[in-house]
Amino acid sequence: MSRDVSYPGKFSRWMAVLVCWGATALFASAQAQTYTESGDAGQTLATAQTVPGGVTTINGTLNAAGDVDLYKLTFSTAASVTFHATSASDPNLILFDSAGHGLWGDDDAGGGPNGLDSQITWTVAPGTYYLAYGNNNIEGVDSASNVFCGNDTGNCSGNTTSVLDHFDSDDSSTGPYTITLSVATAGPAAGANVQAVPTVGEWAMLGLMALLAASALGRIPRRQR
């Protein structure tokens, strides 16, 4: 003899709707998070602003002539990441590794409405990177005053000696800017930071929700006796 302990139909449907809504909200939050510069991001490794995991858009502002904003990003898996910067001025981006060595400096590779957007695509390894934003003509300078990676440099990863100390910038334009991050590598990542994929916790929640939905819809037979 078996006993039917499945939920009443109406409750099941509401449960399924609720679960689907929750899963959608979870995916949306995992895929499109914005970080807004808090106060002013510094220009040194020590004063860079840390961008939390899951962020795909950074909104910042240059509020003084010569300002540069440095962001600290951590990736937990290898991925091809494209950083794209746009503003009403002339965006520049420079990417540094965790030690402050230059990797790539770009001025106008991003195209955009004025042809001045900046863009860098880099295959990151798990670990920390620093991304600098500034307007027209920024250059990374080491403690011996050597300019070692500027917006016109392109690939500067060959120099493993110079470490970022400060920036030179001869631009006086100010105003807001936006940096978007996109990850070419698909698939779930373990504790992914700054990537458009759910984290391990989020995958676990999604799995739990799927089970609940299946259970609510009566797809999983209850134990019979």
Separation CA 144–CA 165 (nearest Å): 9
Task: In angstroms, give the least distance from the CB of 82 to Ca ion.
Answer: 15
Task: In angstroms, give the least distance from the CB of 157 to Ca ion.
Answer: 20
Task: In angstroms, give the least distance from the CB of 167 to Ca ion.
Answer: 9
Task: In angstroms, give the least distance from the CB of 55 to Ca ion.
Answer: 16
Would you tell me how many other CB atoms lie within 10 Å of the CB of residue 186?
A: 9
Task: In angstroms, give the least distance from the CB of 170 to Ca ion.
Answer: 11
Nearest residue (CB) to Ca ion, 19 versus 116: 116
| One-character DSSP codes across 168-199 | EE-----EEEEEEEEE-S-S--TT-SSSSS--
Binding site for Ca ion (CB under 5 A): 40-41, 67, 69, 90-91, 107-108, 116, 118, 136
Separation CA 118–CA 111 (nearest Å): 7
Kind of pairing between the strands at 49-50 and 68-75: parallel
Nearest residue (CB) to Ca ion, 97 versus 108: 108
Q: How many CA atoms lie within 13 A of 207 on its CB side?
A: 8
Nearest residue (CB) to Ca ion, 90 versus 97: 90
Closest CA to 135 of 105, 87, 91: 91
Would you tell me how many other CB atoms lie within 10 Å of the CB of residue 123?
A: 10
